[in-house]
Amino acid sequence: MPTENTNYDEAQVPTYTLPEALLRENGEPVTDAPTWTQTRRPEILQLFKTHVFGEMPAALPNTRFVVSEEGQALGGRARRRQVSVYFTADNDGPGMDILLYLPADAKGPVPVFLGLNFFGNHTVLLDPEIHLNPRWMRAEEKNGIVDNRATIDSRGCLASRWCVDEVLARGYGLATVYSGDLDPDYDDGYQNGIHPLFFKEGQTRPAPNEWGTIGAWTWGLSRAMDYLQTDAEVDRARVAVLGLSRLGKTSLWAGACDERFALVISNESGCGGAALSRRRYGETIKDINETFPHWFCDNFRRYNNAENEQPIDQHMLLALCAPRPLYVASAVDDRWCDPRGEFLAALAADPIYRLLGTQGLPAEEMPAVDQPVMGHIGYHIRSGGHDLTAYDWAQYLDFADMHLSI
């Protein structure tokens, strides 16, 4: 949260120079697509693994997908599928639950939006058939979370963030997973999520260059993608990944690490997501590491109050999504997430998109509020504060129509 040292004054943004995305580690410029794809992109990806998000393990060999429930929803307009994902041979061991809605009138496989949620699958729609998640959740009584557990009052409490009916009406499916199935969002020493499945003998926490909680959430998105690749009603070549806030940081990292995602959406992801860290506007690296020490790898703490020492900045994270379509969204009242820093990161990723033969971002100046711009990079800053709204979804659906239509 903001402190007395938080900067919200553009005049106080320090002078900075961004690292060159199109300059190899050996100093040679990147001037063609093969050099980007084969050399520079892997260099940047490794820098983010080492310094920000940490190394992630591969999928576990015993992973199983079990359809636990199927039925109609939304008055017959949708088909609902709930899938239990087990990461070990033990059904009582770590796992996650995927909730998938598909348009009932689809004539073939459909493109799907996939995103993590904050308080359980049962919160995305007032549908009594969705399993009530029993895991730990951040206490938030207004959303029906009491003593860190969901109650029936939490059903559908965040439906406004998911716009399920509107998504289905446009011909898309929607899939979601509770982030806490993978790792709870508090500093528990990485003991209550999936990390212990990968600890070596004698290890009790990830090494400084290994994954934190955002890495675990990202790993889970790829496991959900593994399932979607097997579902005959899903167009596996047209799956978009999206997220809000900390889960927007996660969607960007998932898009960077897993190129099966055909489209990537960051909704107000801020520091460690789409916003340039060197601006030190709103939330800073020090703020985020001290408030949420479990999110990133321990190496990221080296850059508390030392943003200019990073070998990367967030425009390079966005560039890792190229040439796949990328949408970055901000909100005018969400200064903590630095809307201008998010736009400038998208603008700085534009040369990579153009090098790879796409339009990139069709704007050189930050657009007016509620006036989206859409090329192969899309951007808008909407009215209001930190949230995922119907307005945001309307832009994402239009953007998906541009890029995922057959």
Maximum distance among all Cα pairs of the chain, rounded to whole angstroms: 60
| Helix, strand, or coil (residue 83) | strand
Rg for the chain (alpha carbons), in Å? 20
- Burial class from Cβ neighbours inside 10 Å (0-12, 13-18, 19+) for residue 365 reads exposed
| CA–CA distances in Å: residue 406 to residues 101, 171, 249, 286, 358 | 20, 12, 29, 44, 18
The residue assigned the tokens 């716009």 is: 163
What are the angstrom distances between the C-alpha of 109 and each of 105, 119, 224? 11, 29, 17
Among the listed residues 84, 131, 222, 386, the single catalytic one is 386
213-228 and 246-257 helices cross at what angle (nearest 10)?
A: 60
User: What pairing do the DSSP bridges indicate for beta strands 234-244 and 263-267?
Assistant: parallel
Separation of CA 312 from chain center:
19
Q: Which two tokens stand for residue 286?
A: 């020090």
How far apart are the C-alpha atoms of 396 and 404, rounded to whole Å?
11
Helix (H/G/I), strand (E/B), else coil: 37? helix
Catalytic one among 154, 179, 245, 330?
A: 245
Q: Which amino acid is at 70?
A: E
Q: Is 315 a catalytic residue?
A: no
CA 320-400-242 angle, to 5 degrees, is 55
The answer to whether 313 touches 276, Cβ cutoff 8 Å, is yes
Is residue 294 flagged as an active site residue? no
| Helix/strand/coil (H/E/C) assignment for every residue in 154-178 | HCCCCHHHCCHHHHHHCCCEEEEEE
The dihedral region occupied by 63, where left means phi > 0, alpha psi between -120 and 50, and beta the remainder, is beta
Residue 44 and residue 253: Cα distance in Å, rounded?
A: 12
Residues annotated as catalytic are 245, 386
